[in-house]
Amino acid sequence: MTYQVPTTAQDSASPRKPRGLRRLLGRQRNVSVIALKDISLVVNRGESVGIIGRNGSGKSTLMKLINGRVPPTAGAVYASSRPTLLGVSAALVPDLSGHENIVLGCLAMGMTRAEIDRKYEDIVSVSGLAESIGLPMRTYSSGMAARLQFAIATAVDTEILLIDEALNTGDDQFKDRTKAKMDELREKAGCVFLVSHSLDTIREMCSRVLWLDDGEIIMDGDPVEVIKWYRTFTKYLSAGDRVLALKTRRRMINNLKVPAVLARESGRRSSA
Ligand SMILES: Nc1ncnc2c1ncn2[C@@H]1O[C@H](COP(=O)(O)OP(=O)(O)OP(=O)(O)O)[C@@H](O)[C@H]1O
């Protein structure tokens, strides 16, 4: 997956001196940023997949690809239904109350008024905001806003849920409720993807973990094992030992088992 980014950096290769504004801004041209390199994975019903990795490793890009928000520049993503992407930046309206935002958010996700009425109490209960639900959202802390957003997003009957960093702002009580909600979603034969820098959250919530680095899958498997090796890698980096860090990275990639991706014609879900 490659992004095309316009840049105004001076073109040192050009012998011609730019004039005026062009000189000030430099020559505009596109540079390619490779966000994901040739990755391949298959996720089955009932799995909750944590995605970890350093800043810029490609986690959010992978979520946007799975969701269909950005099209892949090569390869394809196949899903059995349209995934729902829950991100902390999704728009709720600060001047409206929690109650009004629930109605608005649910309507935006395609729910009917009858469905909203049926699910309203559950949404408020998951958010844990019963006492503040009549107050404008701008009076909420960022953690409270994230809780409301999580409760709204998970109310929709979605088979594939993508969560990008939304769980890290909640307190311990909320974490218990989100875990219960995620278990419920998995039991409904769906699957959940969770991006987070909180390794504890990932270990508690996920049945499988992907470690991404520099656009590549480094490890894919048991949460405890993947987190252990990711911690070892970041520890070496923090200590300035790039050689050991890269050795660890290479060793993990060499052990990686790339899944057999079935052709679309087979009728089975697959991704590339
Ligand atoms: N819209 C965009 N246009 C251009 N480049 C982008 C865009 N979004 C992401 N990138 C680049 O793609 C790479 C992967 O970014 P991405 O946001 O997927 O990483 P991330 O693992 O989610 O990072 P973080 O942990 O910091 O949120 C980075 O090099 C980033 O600069």
- Substitution site in 5, 36, 37, 61 for ligand 1 pocket (most atoms within 8 Å of beta carbon): 61
Q: Are 65 and 51 in contact (CB under 8 A)?
A: no
Furthest C-alpha separation in the chain: 69
Alpha-carbon gap, residue 137 to 143, rounded angstroms: 11
Kindly list the distances between the CA atom of residue 135 and the CA atoms of 94, 97, 139, 145, 192, in Å, as whole numbers in the listed order: 10, 5, 7, 12, 31
Asked if residue 61 has its Cβ within 6 Å of ligand 1, the reply is yes
Two tokens, residue 56: 């810029």
Q: Domain extents for the chain?
A: 37-83+158-257, 89-157
pLDDT at 189 (0 to 100): 56
**Atom 10 in ligand 1: residue holding the nearest Cα:** 35
pLDDT in tens, 182-202: 777 766 758 889 898 889 888
**Atom 6 in ligand 1: residue holding the nearest Cα:** 3
Alpha-carbon gap, residue 156 to 254, rounded angstroms: 40
d(CA 56, ligand 1 centre) in Å: 5
**Atom 28 in ligand 1: residue holding the nearest Cα:** 56
pLDDT at 272 (0 to 100): 38
DSSP states along 38-77:
S------TT-EEEEE-STTSSHHHHHHHHHTSS--SSS-B
**Atom 30 in ligand 1: residue holding the nearest Cα:** 56
Average pLDDT over residues 164-168: 64
**Atom 11 in ligand 1: residue holding the nearest Cα:** 35
Amino acid, single-letter form, for residue 221: G
Q: Considering only CA atoms, which of 134, 136, 168, 133 is closest in space to residue 150?
A: 168
**Atom 3 in ligand 1: residue holding the nearest Cα:** 3
- Which is more confident, 25 or 238? 238
Q: Are 86 and 164 in contact (CB under 8 A)?
A: yes
Alpha-carbon gap, residue 271 to 35, rounded angstroms: 17
Task: Map residue 263 onto helix, strand or coil.
Answer: coil
pLDDT in tens, 68-89: 888 999 888 999 888 887 754 4
pLDDT in tens, 105-137: 888 878 899 999 999 999 999 899 999 999 999
pLDDT at 177 (0 to 100): 75
DSSP states along 127-172:
HT-GGGTTSBGGGS-HHHHHHHHHHHHTTS--SEEEEESTTTTS-H
Closest ligand 1 atom to 165 CA: 27
d(CA 35, ligand 1 centre) in Å: 6
Strand partners, 29: 7
Asked if residue 55 has its Cβ within 6 Å of ligand 1, the reply is yes
- Substitution site in 34, 52, 60, 164 for ligand 1 pocket (most atoms within 8 Å of beta carbon): 60
Q: Considering only CA atoms, which of 194, 95, 107 is closest in space to residue 135?
A: 95
Please state the CATH superfamily assignment of the domain spanning residues 37-83+158-257 in this structure: P-loop containing nucleotide triphosphate hydrolases (3.40.50.300)
Asked if residue 3 has its Cβ within 6 Å of ligand 1, the reply is yes
* Strands 216-221 and 208-213, bridge-based pairing: antiparallel
Query: Is residue 255 predicted with pLDDT exceeding 70?
Result: yes
Alpha-carbon gap, residue 135 to 206, rounded angstroms: 34
